Each structure stands twice: as structure tokens, then as C-alpha cells.
Amino acid sequence: MQFDTASPIWVQLVEEFSRRIVTGDWAAGTKMPGVRELAADLGVNPNTAQRALAELERLELCRSERATGRFVTSDEERIDEVRADLATDAANAYVRRVRGLGMTRDRARALLEKRWDSHDDHTTTDADTGDA
């Protein structure tokens, strides 16, 4: 994962972990990787990973069980709410970018529909988001 200097790393981790939950990479009700494992995989300090996981708990996307670890919420309605929030953020970013390019609504919609129909990969990549 590549980090952006525009927001704190732990905030970016919350977004990444939320994405993993809503896409099913971390299925509802399943045990999540441990703090040390996540930190090592992502190349961040364990305290940073811990802060992000604590925020996921505050957002009710996971829960801690003493001596057994963290688990993804089983609340599918909560997961759907977060999925909608992430999609709204992506839509807002798209609108800002195409307006900045001087594109009309009809042209932007046509472009989105064309990309939607031709896009084989349903996961988020840097190329999809425009992130470097």
C-alpha cells in the first residue's frame, strides 16, 4: 500500500481496512489479522495499525474479544452503510475531477457508463482512483 501525505497514515489505514471489510476480503464475523501482522504487511508502526483498528471499533466495523483477537462485525446493515459512504466519497471525487476538466454532466455520465461496462476488474487499484 502506498501512503499519501495529505492525510495521516492511520486515517488511510482505516479507509483501507474498511474497504477490505465491505469488499469481503475480511468477511463478516471472521477473525481479523493481528496488529503486528498488519503492521509488518503494510510497513507501518504497530501503534499506527493499532490506532486504525481502534477507530474501526469506534465505527462498529469490528469488535475485540479478550484473548481471542478482533473480529469483523456480523452486522451486514452496518457494512452496507460503510460501503455506501465509500461509494459516495468515490463519486464525489469523480465529480470534482471531471468538473475540473471542464466536462459536462452528460459527457461525464457517458464516460462512466462506458468504463463501467468495459471494466473487468472489480477491485480498487491506484489506476482506478488516480492515486500514485
69: β partners: 65
Q: List every span in the chain annotated with CATH 1.10.10.10.
A: 9-74
pLDDT truncated to tens, each residue of the chain (132 aa)?
Answer: 667 667 889 999 999 999 999 999 999 999 999 999 999 999 999 999 999 999 999 999 999 999 999 999 999 999 999 999 999 999 999 999 999 999 999 999 999 999 988 876 555 444 444 443
CA separation for the pair 67, 8 (Å, rounded): 29
Instruction: State the architecture of 9-74 in CATH terms.
Output: Orthogonal Bundle (1.10)
